């Protein structure tokens, strides 16, 4: 089952991007590009969700369902 984790991404003065999420506490990812940051955030989210499952703490996230909105970033 695919779940949706909303991310907040900001460009830091150091020139890197930082991703955090209110949906999934503990998710912090940093990369040189938005794409790299998203890839790292996806890996971190998977690990956090696996850890929650092992502790039997279900995540309260929306599932993708039949349709959902997705912001596409194009440079």
pLDDT of residue 63: 87
pLDDT at residue 72 greater than cutoff 80: yes
More confident residue, 60 or 4: 4
C-alpha to C-alpha distance for 17 and 7, rounded to whole angstroms: 12
Task: Compute the average pLDDT of residues 7-30.
Answer: 97
CA dist., res. 54 & res. 68, Å (int): 28
The side-by-side arrangement of strands in the sheet containing 17-20 is 8-11, 17-20, 28-31
Q: What is the pTM of this model?
A: 0.87
The pLDDT of residue 17: 97
- Model confidence at 68, in pLDDT bands (50, 70, 90)? confident
Task: Say whether domain 3-62 belongs to CATH 3.30.160.250.
Answer: yes
């Amino acid at each position: 089952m695919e779940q949706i984790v909303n991310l907040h991404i900001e460009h830091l003065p150091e020139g890197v991007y930082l991703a955090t999420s209110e949906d999934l506490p503990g998710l912090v990812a940093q990369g040189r590009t938005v794409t790299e940051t998203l890839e790292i955030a996806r890996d971190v989210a998977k690990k956090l969700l696996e850890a929650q499952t092992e502790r039997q703490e279900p995540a309260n996230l929306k599932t993708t369902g039949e349709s959902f909105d997705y912001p596409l970033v194009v440079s």
